[in-house]
Structure 1
Amino acid sequence: MTIYNADNFTGITGDHELLLGAMLEEKENNQLEIIDQRELLGHQFKIYGTFEEPLFLAKDVATWIQHNKASEMIAKVDEDEKLIAIVSHSGQNREMWFLTEDGLYEVLMQSRKPIAKEFKKEVKKILKTIRKTGGYVANADMMVNTYFGELEDHQKTAVKHLFVNVNKLQDKSQALEKKVTEYQPKVEKYHQFLDADGCMDMGTLAKNLNCGMGKIKLFRFLREQKVLMKGNAPYQRYVNSGYFKVITKTTPVGNKSVTLVTAKGADFIADLIRKSA
């Protein structure tokens, strides 16, 4: 592969130089990053790409299974199980062959080396752990091994758990922000009808929906749709989904359970009515 440098490439116009610079910048942006790195069976094991679609440098794979000719190994793999991508190698960005997860398993199955079978087993275990934990353990392992390699094992474990917990908290925070963004239009839509807790009673909802149903008919409709039980209490799964809130009110004849609807529940009910029309 020939690497061009816009600084020393002569005989081009300013427009050509801008185009060439843009092409080089695009290549750099498409460069694959290492998402996990560790020692495995005495070899440096690296995963590129994403945890959903991991890639493995073919040159590395050939080293793992002691294959002398990486090009021959790659040639035996189907076209959809390999690809060429840009990666930083020996201080330069180079186009190199990568194997997909299926391509890696195919190569390991073809190999007669005993270590190939061991590698396949360990790779499957690593990817299963990564996917089960959302990459928390993998990222923490790489962070600890890279920056805290001199610590004792029990200290590494403590640091790793710290990173795992921080990652989980960050994901929970992002999930909450997403929910707030998702619910905001619904809250604004019904804002004038909601109480301080963000709920409304069924009579208010019936008037707001303007669907030709009063409170009694709306209760009956929701019972027929198996949303409410006999007595107009919602099934627990709909409470858990954030559609309803059940409160207890004190009346002259004793305590009474009252079903309230959230803004999210109002949209859910309106959708049920549209589908049943």
Structure 2
Amino acid sequence: MRGYKPQSSGIPRPPTVDLNCDFGEGYGAYTFGQDEVLLQYVTSVNIACGFHAGDPHTMREAVERAAAAGVSIGAHPGLPDRLGFGRREMAITAVEAYDLTLYQVGALYGFVRAAGSTLRHVKPHGALYHMAGRDSDIAEAVVRAVKSLDDGLLLYGQSGSLLLEEAQKQGVRAVSEVFADRTYRSDGTLTPRNMPNAVLTEPKAAVGQALDMIVRGAVRTSEGIEAAVQAETICLHGDGPHAVQFAAALRQGLLAAGIVLQHPQ
């Protein structure tokens, strides 16, 4: 978290945080999420790159919409599993992790360049995100793929994960991510989606959790204790039925608390 740091004037600087959402997760004739409306609330988007969701047409449209809205664009590479929406783990090797990351990010990179915009960050999706967060070989491969394409890209990873540690080792700017609409366990990991109460259903609860993570650097876990987190970017899942309601409440609540919303620098 970027906390209150004194400026030369002696006036404390307010905390800053990025509000990101997954974006462009339709494909073919199918649309998914509420992309157009979400753009007015977030500061960055993670665009599906064709494996768990997305296709060339939806990727191009998503890039153009995000660029026109002035939000920062990120790549969202996932596992090749449309049926499971990339949320089921696969037994991939480190070499495969490198290849599928480079392939997907490179594809989106091309659409971003063609639109006259800039790719700012990479955030792995779903199961790939969590695998890279705890498996050092997968983490090393994902970071190396990002760095080999563009060493100026930021890499989003879960607060406290091996992915962030590996990014720092390789000299890639790591951005610590927390989740406003997911519950946490005592070890700082997310409650698995197949367990009860894995997802927060009330916007007020999500706003309160987000403020705790930004201001206090802590989250109340499902076990009733607190876990330390670092909040540089907050994820809002765009595929939920109440995603727009959550996004509006989060933006309003954070701004009301004096928090500055901006993409990581």
TM range (shorter): under 0.3
Q: Higher relative contact order at CA 8 Å, sep ≥6: structure 1 or structure 2?
A: 2
TM-score, normalised relative to structure 2: 0.19
Greater helix percent: which structure?
1
